[in-house]
Chain A
Amino acid sequence: MAETTYSHSLANGLVLVAEPMAWLESAAFALMVPAGCVYDPAERSGLASFTCEMALRGAGPRDSRRFIGDLDNLGVHWNDSVSEAHTTFRGATLADNLPDALAIFADVVRRPHLPADQLEAGRQVMLQELRAVEDEPAQKVMIELRRRHYPRPWGRPPQGELDALEAIALDDVSGHFNQGFRPNGAVLAVAGRFDWARLRATVEALHGDWKPGAEPSIGEEPWARRHEHLPYDANQTQIGVSYPSVPYRHPDYFPAWGAVGVLSGGMSARLFTEVRERRGLCYSVYATYHYLRDRAGVFCYAGTNPERAQETLDVLLAELNRLARGVEAHELDRLKARIKSLLIMQQESSSARSAAIARDWYHLHRVRSLDELGGLVEGLTCESINAYLAEHPPGRFTVVTLGPRELEVPVAVP
């Protein structure tokens, strides 16, 4: 087990947090900057993703071809993503190449060219991605569900909207970059094989002179309609159901999360057993826990043919209501076994661990070690989970369906 996590706050607010995994040949990083899609102006929805796309089209001494070529030659397996609160660049490589990889991404977050002559190409990439979602009903239903679950703008999809993407100008991109690509609120998480003193010096040299910026405020407004059917011509009807839960840093997080594990974690979990195994209603059914810093939700999915969609929704809601009556010891035992394995196996992946410590830092301003996490999971009891469920039964459902025919949402669902 890894026993140490290092952290170092730079004077400008950037936090470097790192966990050594000396038994690996790799090192992985996650660099999160506070430039998520909640900061998109309403009429510029998609701006954060567009800015991310443009930041990757050349930075520092590299044009876009050299940028990708250098990363390939360093063997950096990388990706970028835009979430509600952050734009994140992740990468994994052989340990010796970590400093070079960090230097390249320092250029991306600090010195991107944002080239005017590539703005239209970047826009086309964004529009293609938006169009592609229209052909992915299972993805689309969950995007529409999340949009309605959280108050605006927290449920906004990073892909943006057609009109907004068409209207975005280079000034919008550089404006978003200047506002969100700043060290205060940014986290650089590293896991794998590295030398802490050298890593710290490298990061100080790369980022020490980065100037902090102001944190913008976000106005919120609730979404009005909680049940919606979206017509869609396909073989299957897509069903999305969500209900509110507590965020990661909330004291009730682990009991709440344990209940969702009983609902959907492993093939013996309730949704898989009752919806698929017993009734053969669908191929894919799951519930997943999603949290922001201040709010959270449980998001359930099922896809099935229109003739059996009503029964599928009914069984799904019945299982959510049954969950309120509590979980049983054998269910919790299996959950604990799965999590114990998962935590131990996380030590085989620098990528997984770097993502986890970045998440911890954002939500908790500290890192939970694998030992601590193991202890928290081991400490869960049926009593603690059931007490939570009694007080916070799944309810206030948001229901979104996508398919040829509308479904009936039972009146019992407020």
Chain B
Amino acid sequence: MAEHSDADRPVSTARMVAMLYGSRIRSQATFRTSFLADLLGQVLIVGTEFLELWVILSQVQTLGGMTLPQVAVVYGLGALAFGIGDMFFGEIDGLSAQIRSGRLETLLIRPVPLLLQISSLDLSLRRLGRIAVGLAMYVTALGIAGFSPTPATLLLAVLAPLAGALLFGALFTLAGAMQFWLVDGREFANAFTYGGNYVATTPGAVFALPMRAFFTFVIPATLIAYAPTLALLDLPGPALVPTWAGWLGLPAAVLAWVIALMLWRAGVRRYTGAGG
């Protein structure tokens, strides 16, 4: 009887999360060569993206009022945050294919939260490439750019990538939730997720005021890396993005998640299935 009651006991959430993610990690590490090629590809993409900024800064002294090491801090921090967010929630916008084919039912009938299933199903370890490059660049560039640590700025330095990752996660979830209405609008969502990444990894002062306002108050991309970099290096900010805005990443992330989860729930409720 003891065995029986043990099997009947519901699995704890923590154990379930560990099992789901663990199985995905094992399956991806199985094909080593393919995994390494993917990883290298990611590193190369990050490299060429940064080369764009590097080439520009080899022609002019500053971009948006920032020197090369300062831009590298913005880029590294943005890449790190996007890498983490993308690893956990990056494939969520692929939901449109599942909605159209009606395959979502399979996931809905399982006794595991839908968001957790999609997140773990599509966990892609190759994104570790971006995370590693971003982290290395962030730390190195901070050193070169003359970061003087105080307890407060050290805390911000650690908090900023995590808040940024949370923000990107919320953006991806929002993008996924939008698919319940748009169905075939995957690319529409890319403007905010990948576009957000592009903006986040760029010094925010380059944008004209209306764009800066949009990417600060509507899609808070400048709060992910640019504003924290201003606060970390004690630089003056442009209009709309003052130095103290560097601390707003976390509150913005919480707010974005509240909206994302509300929209997600509404979306799942709306889903009626397309298959038979």
| Interaction A to B | no
